[in-house]
């Protein structure tokens, strides 16, 4: 069963507390400063339900299942340390509060109450002066904590199959990342998906290079599943020349390093690169051709 990690970002507003200095960066991360704000005040809030007619806003939080266990993780750094409180509040059909939870660590597991129909997530000032906020994430609690890493190395698929390892570099969409177990049906070969966060500030090349070396997979096929990650595959080729770098035919720089290119089909309908899945049939057809030559 496919599972999702839902991601949320800072919501621009005109109602910041007096004295606030807010910088929203190109990657949707935020730098917040306010040395005058009283403790206990709400810095930012997200709602799971909105009256669109009244607010012209859509829900900012994912729909949750009652009596199901989830994990909420907040990627943020506050100064001084422990000066940020995260609160999640649950409401019934009459908008009465059922309960709420507060935490100061990175993550919290919770069960969505049986009678809850909506909920709210808030960032609460606990004496902070500066806050760097990237995103929050909500997912099933049974997913490993590694799903929150900027470079997420999934479980290996088709582990007992022979041949070279096929490493898939997958770019997250802006709002979700997901498990990719369904890819087992595409290929009779070993497949290692690696998701790279849309908002990642990690050195993905160094992280994946270290993983390949530690896993002794220096002859792996490294496949970029989108033109946005072609540079990662080619940088890995420069660092580990023995790998096979597979990129799209839209690669622009260092294209001479590519061992194999495959065509990218442009959708015939309006879409965005953050909404379209990789073209798995073409990608796995390419993988099959590479592996059949090596057998």
pLDDT digits (tens, 9 = 90+) for 47-96: 998 554 545 566 789 999 999 999 999 999 999 999 999 999 999 999 99
In the CATH hierarchy, which top-level class contains the domain 149-294? alpha beta
Residues 80 and 54: beta-carbon distance below 8 Å: no
**Would you say the pTM of this structure is higher than 0.75?**
yes
d(CA 113, CA 290) in angstroms, rounded, equals 50
Can 4-146 and 149-294 be said to share one CATH topology? no
Give per-residue pLDDT as tens, 113-126.
Answer: 999 999 999 999 99
| Domains of the chain by residue range | 4-146, 149-294
The answer to whether domain 4-146 has CATH 2.60.120 is yes
Close Cβ partners of 74 (under 8 Å, ≥ 6 residues apart): 86, 106, 107, 123, 133, 136, 137
Give per-residue pLDDT as tens, 9-26.
Answer: 998 887 888 899 999 999
Say what the pLDDT of residue 199 is: 85
Give per-residue pLDDT as tens, 200-238.
Answer: 777 999 999 999 999 999 999 999 999 999 999 999 999
How many Å is the maximal CA-CA distance in the chain? 67
> Which secondary-structure segment (H or E) carries 195?
strand 191-196
- What count of Cα atoms within 13 Å lies in the side-chain half-sphere of residue 27? 11
Give per-residue pLDDT as tens, 155-167.
Answer: 999 999 888 999 9
d(CA 190, CA 205) in angstroms, rounded, equals 21
Count of residues in the chain: 295
pLDDT band at 36 (very low <50, low <70, confident <90, very high): very high
pLDDT band at 146 (very low <50, low <70, confident <90, very high): very high
Give per-residue pLDDT as tens, 180-194.
Answer: 988 888 878 999 999
């Amino acid at each position: 069963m496919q599972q999702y990690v839902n991601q949320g970002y800072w919501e621009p507003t005109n109602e910041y507390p007096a004295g606030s200095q807010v910088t929203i960066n190109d990657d949707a991360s935020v730098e917040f400063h306010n040395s005058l704000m009283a403790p206990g005040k709400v810095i930012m809030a997200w709602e799971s339900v909105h009256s669109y007619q009244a607010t012209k806003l859509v829900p900012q939080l994912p729909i949750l299942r009652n009596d199901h266990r989830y994990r909420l993780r907040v990627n943020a750094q506050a100064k001084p340390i422990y000066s940020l409180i995260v609160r999640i509040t649950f409401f019934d059909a009459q908008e009465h509060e059922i309960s709420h939870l507060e935490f100061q660590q990175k993550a919290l597991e919770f069960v969505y109450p049986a009678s809850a129909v909506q909920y709210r997530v808030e960032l609460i000032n606990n004496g902070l002066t500066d806050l760097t906020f990237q995103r929050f994430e909500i997912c099933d609690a049974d997913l490993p904590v590694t799903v929150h890493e900027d470079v997420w190395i999934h479980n290996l698929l088709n582990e007992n199959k022979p041949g070279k390892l096929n490493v898939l570099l997958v770019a997250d969409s802006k709002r979700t990342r997901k498990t990719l177990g369904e890819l087992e049906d595409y290929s009779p070969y070993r497949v290692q998906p690696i998701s790279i966060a849309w908002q990642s500030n990690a050195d993905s090349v160094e992280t994946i290079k270290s993983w390949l070396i530690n896993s002794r997979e220096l002859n792996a096929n490294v496949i970029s599943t989108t033109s946005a990650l072609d540079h990662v595959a080619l940088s890995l080729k420069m660092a580990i020349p023995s790998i096979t770098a597979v990129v799209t035919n839209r690669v622009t720089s260092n294209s001479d390093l590519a061992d194999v290119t495959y065509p990218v089909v442009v959708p015939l309908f309006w879409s965005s690169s953050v909404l379209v899945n990789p073209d798995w049939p073409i990608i796995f057809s390419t993988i099959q051709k590479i592996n059949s030559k090596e057998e």
